[in-house]
Amino acid sequence: MGISVFFPLSACRCGGTVSSQPSHASLQPSGWAAGAEQGDYAPATQPEGSASATQPDGSASASPSGRAAGAESGSSQPSGRAAGAEQGDYAPATRPEGSAATRPEGSADNRPEGSAARQWTPYDNLVEVDRTVHDFGDILSSDGPVSCSFSLRNISKEPVAILQVISSCGCTDVEWTREDIDPGKCGKISATYKNDAGAVPFDKALTVYVSGLKRPFVLHLRGVVHEKAKPLSELYGAARRGALGFKSDQIRVGNMEQGGLKTGSAMVANLSRRSVKVTFAGISPQLDVSIDPNPVPAGSLATLSFTVRADRKLWGTNVYTAVPVVDGVSFDPLQFTAVTKENFASMTREQRDAAPLPMFSESTFDAGFMQRGGSVDISFKFTNNGKSLLHIFKAESDSPGVSFSPLPDLAAGESGTIDLHLDTSAYSAGEYTIMLTLYTNSPTRPLVNLFIALIVK
């Protein structure tokens, strides 16, 4: 028997007809490119004012063959992988018996008094969605298909329409409101994951096209499917905070753009035999976080909801922190990692045509064989082939021992170099591909990836 999970629509009540479309359809409005969300995770910079939770620079040890040394636990990536594909972090686990893929009682419109309301994610001041990710958590293959729905609210002054919703594969069916959505009203996007692929984690993307939006946005369905149920202590024992257990204390938020925000959720378990009250301290200024239900009943699951707001002082990969306080006792911070890039949504065609365009003569530097503890100075030559000033907001590395010289601004037609120093003291013997990411003001190339290949002896 399948599990249906349909969320209340909070302040709005969505009516109207919902129409079905095969999820794997390749159709899309003419001239629109399907916009898969991007953002890999390099070593993080902690926002000013947040609780201290990051290691001193260079304290992480490198690991061979493409793993992002110094990056968060579980954030390894294949050698040479381009920065961009959002990832879900799922520990191998199965849902405890009786904990179907539904949210804990008291969530959404039934929230306990005093708990935080979910923040909606806006797009171009035209529409907003109640969330961008639905996490089914741990489900069983015997559960059959699982479903959820997303609410989309019109925050403009004119009617809008959901033109198309395309799933990343045929394993997910999708339906959406077909008629126009009037200002202040809501439409609905419903999705069903068939759950017929066996015991595997899944992360499925829904690309949503809305009239009036210059580009689509992406929603995600996530979860972990397993054959047999296991106790909560085994599922959520990897990261303990007193009575609370998490699959990981390093939570990936994903990508956001300047002027925007990113919302998400993760499951947390009360592993004790009594209910616990949870509050948070030392919260980064850009972060909101809450747990629902709260108090968390004994031996049950709750939803950790979070919202990160972009800050123009913070570019690229950053870590935002919150200290959980369980029944009055403080524990080590939780870390929320988000990637922020420029927002080009309001640019006109003329402005895009006149924008900067960085072009590099080489994207990979081969450092060859190096002795551990050795160092090398590296330069990447590039030219601004655009028509206006090129500015690089930030440069970062997915591995330790990389320090950048001041980043140059280039006028149209000018050439320059990205200069850096690589110190291999933190590296053990092995083969490495280090990925560098530049965040720019170019709408064509907002992220530029460069690579350093080397073998440490």
User: Could you count the other beta carbons within 10 Å of the beta carbon of residue 312?
Assistant: 11
pTM of the predicted model as reported, rounded to 2 decimal places: 0.71
Which one, of 123, 121, 213, 206, lies nearest residue 161 by Cα? 213
Q: Are 361 and 399 in contact (CB under 8 A)?
A: no
Cα 255 from Cα 337, distance rounded (Å):
9
| 3-state DSSP percent of the chain in helix, strand and coil, to 5 | 5, 45, 55
pLDDT, mean of residues 306-327: 97
Strand arrangement, sheet containing 239-241: 239-241, 244-246, 261-270, 301-309, 287-292
DSSP of 398-417, one letter per residue?
SSSSEEEPPPPPB-TT-EEE
Mind listing the pLDDT tens digit for each residue in 16-45? 444 444 333 333 333 343 333 333 323 334
Q: Is the dihedral of CA 340, 345, 346, 349 positive or negative?
A: positive
Q: pLDDT, tens digit, for every residue of 90-101?
A: 333 333 333 333
Give the integer Cα–Cα distance in Å for 310 and 389. Answer: 23
CA distances from 221 to 166, 199, 201, 247, 417 (A): 13, 16, 11, 18, 41
* Structure confidence at residue 108 (pLDDT): 35
Please write the tens of the pLDDT for every residue from 197-228. 999 999 999 999 999 998 899 999 999 998 88
pLDDT, averaged across the chain: 80
Per-residue pLDDT band at 230 (split at 50, 70, 90): confident
Nearest to 166 by CA among 14, 35, 345: 35
Other CB atoms within 10 A of residue 120 CB: 21
Mean pLDDT of 168-172: 93
For residue 184, what pLDDT is reported? 96
**Which is more confident, 340 or 23?**
340
**What one-character-per-residue DSSP string does 373-387 give?**
T-EEEEEEEEEE-SS
Q: What are phi and psi of 284, to 5 degrees?
A: -55, 145
Residue 115: is its pLDDT beyond 50?
Answer: no
Spatial neighbors of 218 by CB under 8 A, at least 6 apart, are: 35, 36, 37, 132, 205, 206, 207, 208
Q: 398 burial class (0-12, 13-18, 19+ CB within 10 angstroms)?
A: buried
Angle at 209 between CA 147 and CA 87, to 5 degrees: 60
pLDDT tens track for 34-83: 333 333 323 334 444 444 333 333 333 444 443 333 333 333 333 333 33
Based on DSSP, count helices (H) and strands (E) in the chain, helices before strands. Answer: 2, 29
pLDDT at 334: 97
pLDDT at 187: 97
Q: What count of Cα atoms within 13 Å lies in the side-chain half-sphere of residue 385?
A: 9
pLDDT digits 0-9 by tens, 393-406 = 999 999 999 999 99
Tell me how far apart the alpha carbons of residues 183 and 181 are, in angstroms, rounded to a whole number. 7
CA atoms within 13 A on the CB side of 31: 3
pLDDT at 214: 86
Tokens of 49: 């004012």
| H/E run at residue 165 | strand 162-167
- Statement: residue 249 has pLDDT above 50: yes
Report whether 190 contacts 18 (CB < 8 A): yes
Helices (H), 218-353: 232-235, 349-353
How high is the pLDDT of residue 173?
A: 96
Domains of the chain: 1-25+114-229 (2.60.40.10), 231-344 (2.60.40.10), 349-456 (2.60.40.10)
